[in-house]
Structure 1
Amino acid sequence: MQGPGGADHDEAAGAPMRLTVLGASGSIGRSTLDLVERYPERFEVQALTANTSAEALADAAVRVGARLAVVADPAAYGALKAALAGSGIEAAAGAEAVVAAAERPADMLVAAIVGAAGLAPTLAAVRAGTTIALANKECLVCGGDLFMQAARSAGTTILPVDSEHNALFQVFEAGNVGQVERLTLTASGGPFRSLSLEEMRHVTPEAALRHPNWSMGARISIDSATMMNKGFEVIEARHLFPVRPDQLDVLVHPQSVVHGMVQYRDGSVLAQLGSPDMRTPISHCLAWPRRMRTPAQRLDLAALGTLTFEAPDPIRFPALRLAREAMATGTAATAALNAADEVLVEAFLNRRIGFLQIAETVEAVLETMARNGELTAPGSVDEVLQVDALAREAARDLAGLTG
């Protein structure tokens, strides 16, 4: 992990933390602001951003006393300005305004924008040296090499918000890297863990959205059902931790209580456990290197009784294989993997393709782009976005979504 330092913020701390939240209206953003509202004396909110939800953004900005609210969609500026009238909170709109918000002086920035749109503003904050609580997977899946090099150059601390990566961070002994044998990310297995391949062929979007343990957005819920999300997490872990790809493992753990494990050369396995509540890993980042109290339900292991684990099935869930193959090819391939998946998940939600066609078509996209020589390592954010656009076009063509 990057950076040895961190702000000392606990209940007795003096100066409040200057905080910016990108993606304030999403699930991670809302959970972050829930914690901020519980401890208003600990935080001074510099800026909040959202994509199009002007009213929700304005309401959140007023509640936490933000200095600036930015909506990415310029068409929503009027609604945001009107909703903030008389509040004294500055309003702005557009992609450049989101980047400017990320560059404002802050102690920590929570990067929770969904999609490739989060890459440029988060990278701007990295280059400014702001500590990043990272919840945007595209920063590492689409631009991991660029992102981590920028963090190293700026001496920026990157703290993982995602529950599995945060779990690994909590039990990864940074001073003992040479003693680490294996990192294991756990997966719930999603709603179709026990279905046959034939049964999975006929599942509906409604069924795929019913995650057994977590409350998440639509895309991540579908990615959990295909296990593509776990493939993305393997890619992210490769950038976040100084280990080889063959040291990264996935175990299906239906109870979602053990979130990550690190095995050491002496045979010891250190694991982080907790109820499936994103406020736990978010709070760990906000208070790091200390802890803060959260309303998350406390574990009762006696009541749970049993924790089970199983290997993921590579036949029914090929997305894990695709992610590993893309990771071996390079950043362009992982960016294409993400872009194609996003297009195909949306198509499935709109009932234009079947569930199994998501992974099947993603694989076809990667094969097509490799044949066309379109997976050259990107050297800039613009080049990442070019790969992203090519993958989206290929996904639409191969899935018959054009015209």
Structure 2
Amino acid sequence: MKLNLAILGSTGSIGKSLLNIISNDKKKFNISLLTANSNYQLILEQAKKFNVKNIIITDKKCFDLARSKNKIKNLNIFNNFQNLEKIFKKKIDYVMSSIVGLDGLVPTFKIIKHTNKIAIANKESIICAWNLFKKELKKNNTEFIPVDSEHFSIWHTLRNNSKDNIEKLYLTASGGPLLKVPIKKFKNLKISKIIKHPNWQMGAKISVDSATMMNKVFEVIEAKKIFDLKYNQISIFVHPHSYLHAILKFKDGMINFIAHETTMEIPINNTLGKFKNDQIKFKKIDVNKLNNLQLSEIDKKKFPVVNMLNNLPANDSLFETVLVSANDCLVNLLLNNKITYLELIEKLFKIVSKKEFIKYKFIEPKKITDILNLNKILKSKII
């Protein structure tokens, strides 16, 4: 018996890690679909190596290049996600959704009905559209697994416990590349310093979010939605080693410390269930790290974006889209050297404080296009 799967975003770090995990025993897997935005050369290599019959390349120019350079027989190359009905004649077993940013929203939503299980690494989809995703998952009887190391750790722990028993949840943050940098030096930060994460190998965008701590703000929102908690049930500890991922304090008095090595292979591999690769060798428990966790409260003067958690609506709303879209636009401006690190923080607070956007705290997304349209509005006002 093979696991029939698809990978949305196969050329990114999560997608490549999953392919690396299953490469040791390719006979156990049948990959129905791989997708990429522009890296047509790599996805063609992946399709050849894993005998994939369908790929999607969303960038039109790269799609045309892939078709002209493709030498793989019987490979279907599509340019968008309107062809999922053609690709999937029946439900497959598993999907990994790892497309970065709001670009992953529509593909992730569309593919839910085509799979029995979906592992989602696209946090923006969960943050902006969880109420819609939850309905779609239930409607199609599709199992959901979060892939973020923190959220996977919590999900894994709660398999034998009820989320209703949670009294308090503590997410850990490494502190990112700026943890030990004095605030007075923030005026002259270089991009190379901002994106140099001390523990994780990540893309530039998420590295910036780690530097500002916006990534942790997003993870709190994710946790609140996925596990149906209140914001006052979730706190953040700084933990420089990234060894401890979450702490769960239960109402019955029990406290679970959830730790694993600083590698995404662990959550990714475990989402495969009985098809996971048991040949992967992990390190022994690091006693030194356990004896020196160095947990501390976040310095909110140094990382002020964490204060945004104090003003988020308790209900699912379009304001989460305002936060995600504004941050995405500003991070892009930073990475293109159009604004500084401090200007990013300043502009983000100004945007989310405007009356024209505060009103979205009281508006629930009714359909995916509500989120996409608001994202366009934000982009037009910021870029």
TM-score by length of structure 1 reads 0.88
Find out whether 1:340 has 2:296 as its counterpart.
no
Which residue identity does 2:31 align to in structure 1?
A: V
Partner of 2:280: 295
Cα distance, 1:37 vs. partner?
A: 0.8
Pair 121,104 (structure 1): closer, same or farther in 2 beyond 3 Å: farther
Residue 155 of structure 1 aligns with which residue?
A: 141
Equivalence for 1:110:
96
**Cα pair 1:99 1:124 within 8 Å, conserved:** no
The whole-number CA distance in structure 1 between the counterparts of 2:87 and 2:214 is 31
Distance 1:228 1:102 in 2: 37
1:388 counterpart = 2:360? no
Amino acid at match of 1:168: I
Q: How does 1:195-234 map to 2 (within 5 A)?
A: 195-234=181-220
Aligned in 2, Cα 1:371/1:264: closer, same or farther, shift over 3 Å?
closer
Cα displacement string for residues 38-58 of structure 1 (whole angstroms, at most 9, x for unaligned residues): 221221101000001111111
Match of 1:401 in 2: none
Listed as ranges, the gaps of 5+ residues in structure 2 are none
Identity of aligned residues (%): 27
Q: Does 1:168 align with 2:154?
A: yes
Q: How many residues align?
A: 381
Distance in 2 of aligned mates of 1:55 and 1:106: 26
Task: Give the Cα–Cα distance (whole angstroms) in 2 for the partners of residues 248 and 209 of structure 1.
Answer: 27
Instruction: Give, in angstroms, the shift of residue 283 of structure 1.
Output: 0.5
Equivalent residue in structure 2 for 1:67, among 53, 76, 100: 53
Contact preservation (8 Å) 2:166, 2:249: yes
> Shift in Å at residue 318 of structure 1?
1.9
Distance in structure 1 (CA, Å) of the matches to 2:92 and 2:234? 33
- Aligned residue in 1 for 2:297: 311
- What secondary structure, in the 3-state scheme, does the structure 2 residue paired with 1:133 have? strand
Task: Using the TM superposition, give the Cα deviation of residue 359 of structure 1 relative to its aligned residue in structure 2, in angstroms.
Answer: 2.5
List 4+ stretches of structure 1 deviating above 6 A.
none
Residue type matched to 1:356 in 2? L
35, 44, 48: which one aligns with 1:58: 44
Q: Secondary structure at the match of 1:41?
A: helix
CA distance in 2 between counterparts of 1:391 and 1:240 reads 26
Secondary structure at the counterpart of residue 70 of structure 1? strand
- Per the alignment, residue 120 of structure 1 pairs with 106
Name the residue aligned to 1:26. 12
Cα shift at 1:174:
5.6
Moved more, 106-115 or 89-98: 89-98
Moved more, 126-135 or 17-26: 126-135
Equivalent-residue separation in structure 2 for 1:292 and 1:271 (angstroms): 25
Distance 1:95 1:324 in 2: 37
Task: Quote the offset at 1:287 in angstroms.
Answer: 1.9
Counterpart amino acid of 2:297?
A
Deviation readout 1:243-300 (Å, 9 max, x if unpaired)? 2221112111100111122111233211221111111100011126x85426364144
Structure 1's 101 and 367: CA in aligned 2 closer, same or farther, altered over 3 A? farther
Output one character per residue of 1:150-169: Cα deviation in whole Å (capped at 9) or x when no partner: 21232221101111101111
1:126 to partner: Cα distance: 1.8
Of 238-247 and 300-309, the range deviating more from structure 2: 300-309
Q: 2:92 touches 2:114 (CA, 8 Å); kept in 1?
A: no
1:137 and 2:123 aligned: yes
Q: CA deviation at 1:94?
A: 2.6
Structure 1 pair 262/206, CA: closer, same or farther in 2 (3 Å)?
same
Contact 2:21 2:277 in 1 (8 A): no
Q: Name the counterpart of 1:10.
A: none
Structure 1 contact 16–43 (Cα < 8 Å) conserved: yes
Asked if the contact 1:275/1:299 (under 8 Å) is kept, the reply is no
Q: SS of the residue aligned with 2:272? A: helix
Q: Which residue of 2 aligns with 1:4?
A: none
Residue 264 of structure 1 pairs with residue 250 of structure 2? yes
In structure 2, C-alpha distance between the alignment counterparts of 1:159 and 1:324, rounded to whole Å = 27
Structure 1 counterpart SS, 2:261: coil
1:175 Cα deviation after fit? 4.3
TM-score (norm 2): 0.92
CA deviations on 1:351-390 (whole Å, 9 max, x unpaired) are: 2111122222122111225467455322111111111112
Q: Which runs of 5+ in 1 are unaligned?
A: 1-14, 397-403
Q: Are residues 1:364 and 2:350 paired?
A: yes
Contact 1:18 1:44 in 2 (8 A): yes
How many Å separate the matches in 1 of 2:325 and 2:281?
33
CA, structure 1 residues 204+128, in 2 after alignment: closer, same or farther (shift >3 Å)? Answer: same
In 2, Cα distance between equivalents of 1:328 and 1:361: 24
**What residue number does 2:365 align with?**
378
CA–CA distance in structure 2, aligned partners of residues 164 and 285 of structure 1 = 14
